[in-house]
Amino acid sequence: MTVSVVLFTSDLRLHDHPPLRAALLSADTVVPLFVRDDGIAAAGFDAPNRRAFLADCLADLDTGLRDRGGRLVVRSGDVVDQVGKVAAETGARDVHIAAGVSGYAQRREVRLRDALESEGRLLHVHDAVITALAPGSVTPADSDHFAVFTPYFRRWSQELLRDPLGAPRAVRVPDGIRSDPVPSRAEVSGTSAALAGGGETEGRRRLAAWKRSNLAHYEDRHDDLAADATSRLSPHLHFGTLSPAEVVHRARKDGGPGAEAFVRQICWRDFHHQVLAARPAASRADYRTRHDRWRSGRQAEKETAAWKEGRTGYPMVDAAMRQLRHEGWMHNRGRLLVASFLTKTLYVDWRVGARHFLDLLVDGDVANNQLNWQWAAGTGTDTRPNRVLNPVVQGKRFDPDGTYVRRWVPELEGIPGKAVHEPWKRSDPERACSGYPEPLIDLADGLARFRRARGRD
């Protein structure tokens, strides 16, 4: 009886899962293993919102495996030790895993390979499981990765993605393997009040429903904050309950004007992943330094606290920051704006904002979060690194009648239409009773300081 281990990481699904398919084809029985890895918590990535979503994903994966005659095996501790133990207990020769992109995932792969090979076992690393296209599979002539999105998108669009694999019909797991209980969302405290539910079943349901109702209008409506018409698939793509290759196939199959605009966003995800795979240090260090000397000290801390609480006095910034706290999710247009506000208008280090996002975002992802923050701060891949978004202009453009702001900032409920984006223009008595703060900073002052700092005045 041959045994293989499949180590699930950011690929918590049964559909379109190349490592599971390979293991099932090459062994009589398979151990589907998830390790609650101490290293993830030590690296500071173990936030309540993601822990709760992860618990849903594991419970659903276990159910899916049980429906097929198997079950999920859960262990806790150091991932390399635990994989070694499970392989030794079951006599498995082969271990299958999806390739990761972060520095942590790359080190994990090396440690696993060394440990397994020293015991005479083999590690099989499968590409294009957590991304649609494997990082490094398309490169420019003179580099190991693309540093600019548009040429990457052009090349990426010409590549054929593999056809998505179906879910297996049966999974035979060897008898008698010990498993910790599958974690439950109920064990997690401190989550956002309106946190989305996780799991492959929920991800597939959401994809199908959103495709029916919104995909065709994606190009026109994806920046309309009040419409909330984007897919909200980001946590499913982060935890791998949906395969990015399958999402692209299914979007393209339906065609329509929205499909390519949506697929372009999935390509942004691959783009950031291929940057991080080639430059893992970009999770902490500037990808392209602008020699910033970010503000620090009491005043900067006070302003950062107001930003986190959604009390900057700029309604669009505050609405988005409150949505983040309440849902563990924020619309992309909001993310761009609040990141520009923190890093450029307040001139606070992008790492401070990225950390706060990682503490709350259910889709918090090293590649997408750190590199989008760098993009917004102008230290990343943006070809216009010194652009500054104005929250009033952005508000009037992407929330033209103020519906999004009034949804999240009840103090401003009484101000009609787009006037809500400039509450300081109301008369004094009206402002006094709303309890809404005065603007934290004059936008022109923030802009002038940023331009000076970047040597642009």
Interface with ligand FAD (CB under 6 A): 222, 230-234, 237-238, 265-266, 268-269, 272, 331-332, 335-336, 339, 357, 361, 363-365, 368-369, 372-373, 376
Query: Could you give the CA distance from residue 378 to residue 358 in angstroms, rounded to a whole number?
Result: 19
Residue 37 or 365 having the CB closest to ligand FAD: 365
The strand pairing partners of 33, in sequence order, are 7, 73
Q: Could you tell me if residue 99 is left (phi over 0), alpha (psi between -120 and 50 degrees) or otherwise beta?
A: beta
72/159 Cα distance (integer angstroms) = 34
| Smallest distance, ligand FAD to C-beta of residue 416, A | 28
Pick between residue 29 and residue 241 the one whose CB is nearest to ligand FAD.
241
* Cβ distance to ligand FAD smaller for residue 96 or 238: 238
CB 250, min distance to ligand FAD, A: 12
What does the DSSP 8-state code read for residue 185? G
Nearer to ligand FAD among residue 31 and residue 339 (C-beta): 339
Contact 287, 155 (CB under 8 A): no
Q: Cβ of residue 131: shortest distance to ligand FAD, in angstroms?
A: 10
- Could you give the C-alpha distances from 332 to 161, 224, 335, in angstroms and in order? 26, 10, 5
Query: What distance in Å separates the CA atoms of residue 4 and residue 28, rounded to the nearest whole number?
Result: 8
Answer yes or no: are the C-beta atoms of 174 and 73 closer than 8 Å: no
The CA distance from 177 to 5, in Å, is: 12
Q: How far is the CB of 366 from ligand FAD (least distance, A)?
A: 8
In the bound state with ligand FAD, the residue whose beta carbon lies nearer, of 307 and 357, is 357
Tokens of 393: 């202009």
- DSSP of 280-337: GGGGTS-SS--------SHHHHHHHHHHHHT-SS-HHHHHHHHHHHHHS---HHHHHH
CB 327 within 8 A of CB 361: no
d(CA 296, CA 301): 7
Is 136 or 437 the residue whose CB approaches ligand FAD more closely? Answer: 136
Q: Which is nearer to ligand FAD, 232 or 326 (CB)?
A: 232
Shorter beta-carbon distance to ligand FAD: residue 360 or 415: 360
**3-state DSSP assignment of residue 240:** coil
8 Å CB contact between 232 and 329: yes
* Min separation Cβ 446 and ligand FAD, Å: 18
Cβ distance to ligand FAD smaller for residue 364 or 423: 364
Residue 348's contacts (CB-CB under 8 Å, 6 or more residues apart) are 294, 295, 300, 303, 304, 307, 342
